[in-house]
Structure 1
């Protein structure tokens, strides 16, 4: 019976994505799994718990996810883990452990919400006497000593490290540099996951909210993941050559250009953003309806609309089945899954 606590150095490091991908893989292998997030900044409406419960674990025979405790404040008087809360956490884990073969615990980050290091994830690991995995976000100039210090703070409970979001042109340097140095220093490193366009994508709904757009028809596939925007214009290439290059694309085009809109709808376009405020032709509406492609209308020009999307990536979240599947692929391609599986099998 395996228990693994997954912690991250910082918020946004990919902790939820890793947990969701591991749960998905274990379920595919026929394992009975459980998920537990002991602390939350919003215990009554935690988005991580909602996503895991309603999307990843829906329809499985595992135990329900326990209600989390409120995340304590760093620097407050008294211990971060008082005895009463410690007993509650131990009891919750014991209850779900009794009916699951593997329990994945999404622990707090090593850096508190106020930006200061704290001992809560380490205290939690010690309390539950389970191994921990630390996921560390990649940044340009990442110093292996910084990663090593963070890893050593979990010792001896740390089972291994994962570096996430390594840019493609730095992947080899990280493998030969930081990861080799960490391993030479005695740290267990499961591997480094590269940055990926799908993981940075946003949904059609988030695009509409960013632009303040209007649905031209009843919205469909609003949770489709968009990882690329194309501008519809007077291009020299054939429509299938230009619009058929990418999956998961949204096309920004003037509402008065049905020729461009129809060309893009013939390919793998997930959304049309129609600029200028005019109504598209009935032909475009009918084709979009048949292909389940949502149409968003905005009053601004095409250029202004493209500029307004500059900050849309800030809306990106991990709460997408597409992203979980993609992260699972990246995980299997880049991590030592045999070593990670051994931790899940032998931990208790």
Structure 2
């Protein structure tokens, strides 16, 4: 049986997307796939059973129905952390190992998802490196591009994991960075024994968020065109400049939300006529009747929030980089991106898989 641990150099790197995509790919190849997330940090109860929110979701996508308490035997909440920091954290690796053995009995492939980074949970002995070693897994480490790649981190991981590190997947790579990867970073990493299993290009849709979800996350209220709240926002632009300058920047932005003060009707009108995905009006100020009417006519939702423009912009930046993978369209699109990038032939030959 092949056991794959999906870890990462940082949180919010695409572990769920890659776990689901690889799981679905192996299933299509005729392999019996199991899934586990040993340590959960998002406790959630469904039908009276407590588990991890992400683990519930991944199981649903993969069509699996294992007991949540076996899939995620360790749930980290505040009480858990308090005990751990007081030195009262018991050795939970044997519990994880027992549940892994139960789930994996009849499986060809086990996908095991990490939480946070590969060293998250070190304070209680439940970090990814420890789990990989305890369960005798092969680690796939995701490194998501954020201004640069964490090549130092990956070399340290290689030293820690040795042959257990199957390879790295570089995620969210912008086009302009491909030359540096191909000419320098990939050869460097492979010289250190780190196989590049795939390079996944940056795709705006993967960081997108629905207007309805955006309103909830910003603590705002949709005050116009609520029937169009399923529109998808890929980026944002701040409308604090003069109208002429705003128009210049706005033309370059596609599928953008426009964050603008509730009293800036001039910018609001330009954004509406320019077919913005939505307006986010700050300062808890209602727009005038002309803006509301045009919003309804054009089918462009308006979200009203209490915070100031720059506070909302900071929150938007975080949301678009960390928004959870939940929409069917994003799952399908993400799977295509992952599975067209991952070197499955290498995995097949390395582990002598039959499909």
Of 46, 49, 53, 2:55 maps to: 49
Match of 1:278 in 2: 287
Match of 1:157 in 2: 164
Match of 1:125 in 2: 132
Distance 1:242 1:177 in 2: 36
Deviation at 1:218, TM superposition (A): 7.3
Match of 1:111 in 2: 119
Distance 1:310 1:171 in 2: 28
Cα pair 1:7 1:107 within 8 Å, conserved = yes
- Summarize the alignment of residues 204-219 of structure 1 with structure 2, pairs less than 5 Å apart: 204-205=211-212, 207-209=214-216, 211-217=218-224, 219=226
Distance 1:6 1:93 in 2: 16
Match of 1:69 in 2: 73
Q: Name the TM-score, length of structure 1 as normaliser.
A: 0.72
Secondary structure of the residue aligned to 1:190 is strand
How has the CA–CA distance of structure 1 residues 31 and 223 changed in structure 2, closer, same or farther, with 3 Å as cutoff?
A: farther
How has the CA–CA distance of structure 1 residues 194 and 136 changed in structure 2, closer, same or farther, with 3 Å as cutoff?
A: same
Deviation at 1:144, TM superposition (A): 4.3
Matching of residue 89 in structure 1 with residue 100 in structure 2: yes
Match of 2:4 in 1: 4
Distance 2:336 2:244 in 1: 35
Secondary structure of the residue aligned to 2:19 is helix
Structure 1's unaligned 5+ residue stretches are: none
Cα pair 1:219 1:294 within 8 Å, conserved = yes
Matching of residue 191 in structure 1 with residue 192 in structure 2: no
Distance 2:279 2:347 in 1: 42
Distance 1:330 1:24 in 2: 13
How has the CA–CA distance of structure 1 residues 279 and 343 changed in structure 2, closer, same or farther, with 3 Å as cutoff?
A: farther
Q: Name the TM-score, length of structure 2 as normaliser.
A: 0.71
- Summarize the alignment of residues 223-302 of structure 1 with structure 2, pairs less than 5 Å apart: 224-230=231-237, 234-235=243-244, 247-252=254-259, 256=265, 260=270, 262-265=272-275, 269-274=276-281, 276-281=285-290, 283-287=293-297, 291=299, 293-298=300-305
Distance 2:30 2:10 in 1: 32
Secondary structure of the residue aligned to 1:110 is coil
Distance 2:302 2:137 in 1: 49
How has the CA–CA distance of structure 1 residues 221 and 329 changed in structure 2, closer, same or farther, with 3 Å as cutoff?
A: farther
Secondary structure of the residue aligned to 1:112 is coil
Deviation at 1:122, TM superposition (A): 3.6
Cα pair 2:32 2:109 within 8 Å, conserved = yes
Deviation at 1:18, TM superposition (A): 1.7
Match of 2:313 in 1: 309
Instruction: Decide which moves more: 188-197 or 3-12.
Output: 188-197
Give CA deviations for 1:158-205 in whole Å, capped at 9, x if unaligned.
322223344544332233223212222333221333444444444434
How has the CA–CA distance of structure 1 residues 40 and 119 changed in structure 2, closer, same or farther, with 3 Å as cutoff?
A: closer
How has the CA–CA distance of structure 1 residues 294 and 27 changed in structure 2, closer, same or farther, with 3 Å as cutoff?
A: farther
Secondary structure of the residue aligned to 1:7 is strand
Higher helix share: 2
Match of 2:47 in 1: none
Structure 2's unaligned 5+ residue stretches are: 44-49
Cα pair 1:151 1:161 within 8 Å, conserved = no
Instruction: Decide which moves more: 69-78 or 127-136.
Output: 69-78
Cα pair 1:86 1:127 within 8 Å, conserved = yes
